[in-house]
Amino acid sequence: MDVLETFVEQHAEVLSGARWHLHQAGWQDLAATILVLGALILVGSGAHQMVAPLAAAHPLPISLSPAALPLYTLRTTMRMFVAIAASLVFTFTYATLAAKSRRAEMVLIPLLDVLQSVPVLGYLAFTVPFLISAFPDSQLGPELAAIFAIFTSQAWNMAFGFYQSLRTVPRDLDEASRSLRLSAWQRFWRLEVPFAMPGLVWNTMMSMSAGWFFVVASEAITVDGRQIKLPGVGAYVAQAIREHDLAAVGWAIVAMGVAILVYDQMVFRPLVAWSEQFQFATTPVLLRPRSWVLNLFQRSRLLRRAARPVAAGVKTAARARLAFPAGVHRLGHRLSGSRSADIIWIGLLLGVLGYVLVELLGFARVALAWRDVAVAARSGALTLLRVVVLVAVATAVWVPTGIAVGLRPRLAQKVQPVAQFLAAFPANLLFPVVVFLIVRLNLAPAIWLSPLMILGAQWYILFNVIAGASAFPPDLREATASLRIRGWRWWRDIMLPGIFPYYVTGAITACGGAWNASIVSEVVRWGPTKLTAGGLGAYIARMTETGDFPRAALGIAVMSALVIAMNRLLWRPLYVFAERRARLD
């Protein structure tokens, strides 16, 4: 809002004075009100559905009627939102603890690094049996397991991003808040959360996009011989596969597409546009993300009036001091600087680590043979080969395409949302279509199932490259043109180095996506036909299905190790290199 606008608004306020009439509500009020009420009703009915089957020991059969789809989609979406709420709570506590306490940081950050590398669907092998036994005779167990799966796909990188924001709070604002003697609570809400907001919102929204894949996958899963069917789009598709109903698969794809579009327009864009106000650069921003929904809400007088008490409440809460008594503060200060406390803490950590290691080794010796490790490693090598080849192929296709699109601003504006939509779209809904074709054409599954892994992940490369090419400085482009640099040299010296940091970011995400997807894409079904491509994903899926937990754990450990190794040995050095080279100062 600029100065002029503020002024005009205040002026209008004065004119209407104390006599405030409803007739001032324009179409914007109406539209905004409908949106709010609609959202409330949808959330209410979704939540009701979720809790309702609690009593039912046996879940309702999944109906393949397209008419049932809207409700299924709603329930899938609800799971997403519950998970995002849990991820936010986790982010605020875990990351804050890590950023504030040196000792907690020693444990929490490396732990986060590992948690992030564990395949999301790998968690299901353990959480499903655990939660089912915790809530027997109810849907709550599988429901929580699905939510937990989505949570694991979001929470780690949200927490990591928030932690990094907390560590990079500008020094002058930090000093200002200290010299104004803000309490820790005030500082958190006044300084730290607002500062982290743009990154947090962006991270949350990106994680949520990735989450669709996992919610669909976790709605229909077999663990230890037990088939889990949670009413939702994922279960609907699973049912369609069982009955080889290609039309139903098509309906599911349409329903999901609509859900993601609505989510993009109603949640993603408004939030990103809203979070712009927390952007730290105090210079005016030229290119702001726009959202018609946000504009509608901000311009609707009625809603603004309704939101005022809420905003005031939030502000009061942020202002409350809630400071620790001085004694606690002093004690904390003394402890945090103490050397002997450090020694005790590190000793404790080593002790716990040693104990866990001994327990694990003992467990593994009983349950596993060296042959198992060899099998897992061999499968891992096969999947690794697939990931590398697929990312290379996706790179060869999407880097030139992305550059071509990114350099044409008008085209980029049209293509970028599509690429983002495709990245969010759960590719596993498309699997049946591909599998149907493989079965029909009698193709070799070991080769033709592989592309499924990259089906959803490739778009990350595309839209990051588009972003990179769009951000390429115009003066450099002009200089290049006037120097008449063309052909291979143009690629090698100008464009590829220019987009490299963006490409690396996209490729890291694509790689992670491919590893995760391998668990559901290396074994697929079409009716009674089951296709297996071999590899580590198939291994983990098989062990999970039969309930062979030691081997499932082994597979997951091997996959995590491969992901970590790839990040450390390939992506991180590349990223550091790209960052350094692209810097001008």
Partner 1 sequence: MNSQSERPLIELRKVCMDFAKPSGEPLPVLADIDLALRAREILGLLGRSGAGKSTLLRIAAGLVRPTSGQVYHRSMPLTGPSEGIAVVFQTFALFPWLTVIENVETGLDAFALTGRERRERAESAIDLIGLDGFQGAYPRELSGGMRQRVGFARAIVTGSSVLLMDEPFSALDVLTAETLRTDFIDLWQEQEIPTTSALLVTHNIEEAVLMCDRIAILSSNPGRVAAEIPVSLAHPRNRLDDAFRTVVDDIYALLTSRAVVFSAAPGQLHSGFARPLARASVSQMSGLLETLAGAPYHGRSGLREIARALGLQVDDLFPLAESLHMLGFAELSDGAVRLTPAGRMFVHGGTGERKRLFREHLLEFVPLSAHIRRVLEERGGHRAPRVRFESELEDHLTRRDVERTLRVVTGWARYAELFGYDDRAQEFHI
Residues near partner 1, by CB under 8 A? 1-3, 6, 10, 170, 172-173, 175-183, 186, 190-191, 194, 197, 277-284, 316, 319, 321, 580-581
CB of 289 within 8 A of CB of 276?
Answer: yes
Cβ-based nearer residue to partner 1, 492 or 530: 492
CB of 300 within 8 A of CB of 29?
Answer: yes
Q: How far apart are CA 280 and CA 295, in angstroms?
A: 22
Min dist. Cβ of residue 585 to partner 1 (A)? 11
Min dist. Cβ of residue 569 to partner 1 (A)? 20
User: Token digits for 141?
Assistant: 């167990």
Cβ-based nearer residue to partner 1, 492 or 581: 581
Q: How far apart are CA 559 and CA 545, in angstroms?
A: 18
Min dist. Cβ of residue 479 to partner 1 (A)? 22
Cβ-based nearer residue to partner 1, 172 or 475: 172
Cβ-based nearer residue to partner 1, 55 or 281: 281
Cβ-based nearer residue to partner 1, 179 or 482: 179
Cβ-based nearer residue to partner 1, 295 or 401: 295
Min dist. Cβ of residue 183 to partner 1 (A)? 8
H/E/C letters for each residue in 521-565? Answer: HCEEEECCEEEECCCHHHHHHHHHHHCCHHHHHHHHHHHHHHHHH
**Positions of E strands within 38-152:** none
CB of 300 within 8 A of CB of 32?
Answer: yes
Name the DSSP class of 138: S
Min dist. Cβ of residue 68 to partner 1 (A)? 45
442: left (phi over 0), alpha (psi -120 to 50) or beta: left
Q: How far apart are CA 510 and CA 522, in angstroms?
A: 17
CB of 502 within 8 A of CB of 465?
Answer: yes
**Positions of E strands within 155-251:** 220-223, 226-229
Q: How far apart are CA 485 and CA 479, in angstroms?
A: 9
Min dist. Cβ of residue 278 to partner 1 (A)? 5
Question: Cα dist. 532→242, 315, 418 in Å?
Answer: 17, 56, 32
Q: Sort strands 523-526 and 226-229 into parallel, antiparallel or unpaired.
A: unpaired
Min dist. Cβ of residue 307 to partner 1 (A)? 16
Cβ-based nearer residue to partner 1, 9 or 105: 9
Min dist. Cβ of residue 407 to partner 1 (A)? 27
